[in-house]
Structure 1
């Protein structure tokens, strides 16, 4: 597309140069003065400044160019009225992009040519009118053709840009789906191998301990097996949050706040706002993990009385807000903390953001947001 644009610019420059020569060569030779040559050269240089040294976007009309070109054209007309048609050269850069400007240029030049003929000869023949009309119609058809080609190319470029954006969004979605599928596979493999193995080892050690209750090494081995069993289950839950498979993100958040209330006595509840829409599996999992980490921080540090989890479905993003009225903290000092870093990394991996607002004695608010590219789970 860029090579086509360069080619279009070259044709525009050739169009300008040819029309400038065509419309000014005859009058310059007839007048036989130096000033018209200087003004025509100035018009060519003025065009080069605005359209060769710099390339304004298609359809843009630089007002300084129009004013400067118009003044040079008026200077030529003041010398000799036969320079009337040079007006078309001034407006040539817009004949390919702006249909109305091109048609105005054609009509102005046709009218100016007839006026010049009348001024020179005192009358206009029907033959001159017919020839001028035919030339004007041909020029108008050329302007319309150039405009249609430029418009079609612009529409094609827009379609290509939309296609590229759709392909990029699809690639991101496929990559996220692949990551989610791999996490699911790892969760199944760990559950079916390590977790089941540790469970079997723990059961065998419990049976052995029943016959040898005072064996120190047996007791230590059983404790290690139970710890590793719990750790493998934690890894499986981290890879594949079971709540999401069962009920989806809104209900998983409600259960999370419900468990917090039941286990600690904190007044915790979940609020859902906006029109619900399905999310990508990975986006749901990461938002849930952020909520779990924020709630875990409340349990350990906040000494809060109230906690509110708010999930907001907006037009172009989804926002999770976890607010507590606890002791608060200095976000600057806590920014390097492992938990906050993990939450921030989770959001950034999906193109989202994580904000933490808090102050000592003023509670804390964790805000996680994901953009539209990570949201739609429907295909």
Structure 2
């Protein structure tokens, strides 16, 4: 707005002085009107001109009209100051400097022709040109900085909005992941504890239905009661994600020994447990995983294998702990099981995969060796983490 006011003011001053100095009005008035109209049209359509790259051509036309006014009356020479201001906004800065120097040459030539002292004729217009260029360039840089600052603010706002969306997505994903992990934990624990307990109760009840001896029935009922009580306690611990009751107050070896002895007493299968290597204090998660694997494996032996003998071995090596469960039962096609899709739980397909997933979550794995009529060997192994074992040992101490 300041540039427009300055141009209009300089044009009016030049007109008044030209009229006062006796300039030819036949040329003066039309040129002033055309120049004013050209400026107004160019200002109104400046955005279009700049976008189309026509800004320098519009300025060139304005400069020619200014030259005509200077020819009619030298009093219009100082309109050049407004031209210098416009040049920086309509041209690339190097080109604007060249243009300004040419206009400055015209102004100096007019001043010299009017008889102005050479020093004043050169220094005055030169200083005016430098001031106009500096002011216009500074305004341009400030405008660019304001635009860049606004763009930066817009990007920051957009980034913040994206971060809010990402945070919401992350929160939702974590919530879904937590829910999935909890469902997986409950699924595994229910299969390895409650389902196996119910299976034991069912087998004991069926055995009782085939016996008439009151003493034997009484013994079976007591076993059913004990098994039901243990499963009730396990159900509470599964819900609360606590350590299995079998591990409380004793290590993994003792828990496995009791588990094997219990199976032998309930089913009549010859079951033996052997601990090979020094006893180490495992992390609770590792002990729970190996105990669950043993429970699930022995339940499979009881329900599916028809075995007469089962051996459970816990081996401790320098870098890992291994649990092997071997039976002389009917066996199955282990190679086919490895490549098959998951089987329904009722057919026993879930347990082995649940064991493997539980072990892999802790950095271990499950190896299954079996063939029809050749028994089955399950080998579960977990790495011995020194830090985890030391921490668990300190916690128990």
* TM-score normalised by length of structure 2: 0.41
* TM-score normalised by length of structure 1: 0.42
